[in-house]
Amino acid sequence: MKIIGEKINGTRQRVKSAISARNAVFLQDLARKQAEAGASWLDINAGTLPEREPEDMVWLVETVQEAVDIPLCLDSTNPAALEAGIRAAKLTPMINSISGEASRLEEILPLAAGAGCPVIALAMDHIQIPETCGERFAIVQKVVSATRSSGIPDQQIYIDPLVMALSTNIESVNVFIETLKAVRAEYPDIHFTAGLSNISFGLPARSYINRTFLTLAMVAGLDTAIMDPLDRELQAAILTTQLVLGRDDYCLNFTQAYRDGVFSDR
Amino acid sequence: MSKKLINAIADMKEKEAVSIVEEMVKNGSSPMAILDAVREAMDIVGRRYEKGIYFLPELILAGEMMKKINGIIKPEMEAAAPKGGRGKILMGTIKGDIHNIGKDIVTFMLEAHGFEVLDLGVDVPFEKFTEAIRDFKPNVVGLSGFLTLAFDAMKETITAIKNAGLRDNVKIMIGGGQIDEKVKTYTAADAFGKDAMAAVTLAKNWIGG
């Protein structure tokens, strides 16, 4: 299970202010903390007005990679911003994201293929998230045929089956897991990801919901997640789930995490 | 009866609320009395939501109950007095964005405070807003958007309203996750709001009531 650290996102007020004030110290601290907590990638979302986004993206990439040496995950639908970000990145970045939307495939896929970037692909086209597994699966098929023809191997693709808020759609997780299983059966080499915190939007006690969802999704085959690596409960849930699923030989990761104080003892 | 209806809605008892309404209609209660009770219940629900006692699902269920009850009393309403004594508001999520939760909460709160709201839904093209301004004649237009691409879409929507010669007929408020003073200026809206209550306050100040 690998983590894409979600915290450097310009849609969050404090990060937004730090980006516009060019406050490198704050953002580098955020980057370091996430890397130390075990993130494999750091999501980078400038979240600014479109005309400023390429410039802000480059500054963010340069600022963050001064502080950490893990790859970034460039989070934008703006091809100009992605292109600038790819050029500024020292390590091959992940692209977040493409979807079944034709314009995004046409504009973003060549960038990703040219630079050998792993790509997150959303199981939706245009802007409406399909309700059913069948519709989402059909979009994934379309996307994968496009990524294959542009020369990107399935191992580089991270499908996001899309998780909607349970508060507005009680079947959300069931559809997510059904979609994930269908895609996995058809494309055994493909990876999966999910924006974790969306599931609990609008509800109290969100941490419990996030943990339970993560556990169920991991059982189904989720192998990466866009989440807050500093969330200790989530980290504990990942370690425990991997242990229970038999993916932790001699329970070493679990006992080491215990020694490191990840689990609070009663 | 009204009291029972208010409690049933406020306490999330959908079946009970519907059967009370059906009974009230049978016994000849005026649709206005039923609507007043619904409005009062919605007020309670809104306050509980603001206090953190209720959450989004309760808000959605309350909205569903309101729709159901409206459906039951619609035939009775056809002949009754026009509603919306506090003026008319046009709502929609702008082109290219399908986030509906925030917009739905704002719509719900505005209705609970007695405004007549026409909700155009999500991913609303510019011309649909201008058409609706002509036909529905709202006092206020609320544009909602969550994505960063909303900034441009809002700007273009407001430009389209201006080009249609309708800009002076309406006050325009915008809202969404990332909307701030800068975005307000960029889009040429009249005001922005941080939450649903801000929308109610803005509308009250503009329309009165």
Per-residue pLDDT tens over the stretch B64-106: 898 888 888 877 765 554 554 568 999 999 998 888 878 887 8
pLDDT of amino acid B81: 46
The SS3 call for residue A266 is coil
Q: Give the minimum alpha-carbon distance from A49 to chain B in angstroms, rounded to a whole number.
A: 7
pLDDT of amino acid B79: 56
pLDDT of amino acid A122: 97
The residue written with tokens 């929308």 in the block is B199
- Most B CBs within 10 A among A76, A166, A167, hence the mutation to make, goes to A167
In the predicted structure, residue A97 carries a pLDDT above the cut 80:
yes
The secondary structure of residue B123, as a DSSP letter, is S
A163-186 mean pLDDT: 96
pTM over the 0.85 mark: no
Considering only CB atoms, B98 lies closest to which of A77, A128, A165, namely A128
Considering only CB atoms, B178 lies closest to which of A11, A77, A129, namely A11
What b/e string do you get for A53-89 counting C-beta neighbours within 10 Å, with b at 16 or more?
Answer: bbebbbbbbebbbebbebbbbbbbbbbebbbbbbebb
A248-264 mean pLDDT: 91
Q: Chain B contacts of A128, Cβ < 8 Å? A: 98, 123
Rounded Cα gap, residues A234 and A231, in angstroms: 5
pLDDT of amino acid A266: 55
pLDDT of amino acid B208: 77
A133-161 mean pLDDT: 97
What b/e string do you get for A154-190 counting C-beta neighbours within 10 Å, with b at 16 or more?
Answer: eebbbbbbbbbbbbbeeebbebbbbbbebbbeebeeb
CB contact under 8 Å between A201 and B60, yes or no, is no
In the sheet that holds A119-122, the strands lie side by side as A191-192, A157-160, A119-122, A94-98, A72-75, A41-45, A2-9, A224-227
Any bridge partners for residue B175, and if so which? Answer: B144, B193
Residues 6+ apart with CB under 8 A from A158: A94, A118, A119, A120, A121, A190, A191, A192, A193, A224
Report the 10 Å Cβ neighbour count for A36.
11
- Most B CBs within 10 A among A20, A49, A198, hence the mutation to make, goes to A49
B48-64 mean pLDDT: 89
Look at strands B171-175 and B140-144 and give their pairing. parallel
**What are A's interface residues with B at a Cβ cutoff of 8 A?**
10-11, 16, 47-50, 53, 77, 127-129, 165, 167-168, 201-204
Which two structure tokens, joined as six digits, stand for B104?
């739905």
Look at strands A157-160 and A191-192 and give their pairing. parallel
In the predicted structure, residue A168 carries a pLDDT above the cut 90:
no
The residue written with tokens 């029972």 in the block is B4
Considering only CB atoms, A47 lies closest to which of B96, B98, B178, namely B178
In the predicted structure, residue A213 carries a pLDDT above the cut 80:
yes
B108 touches chain A (CB under 8 A): no
CB contact under 8 Å between A203 and B177, yes or no, is no
Q: Give the minimum alpha-carbon distance from B207 to chain A in angstroms, rounded to a whole number.
A: 30
User: Of A111-115, A262-266, B58-62, which one has max mean pLDDT?
Assistant: A111-115
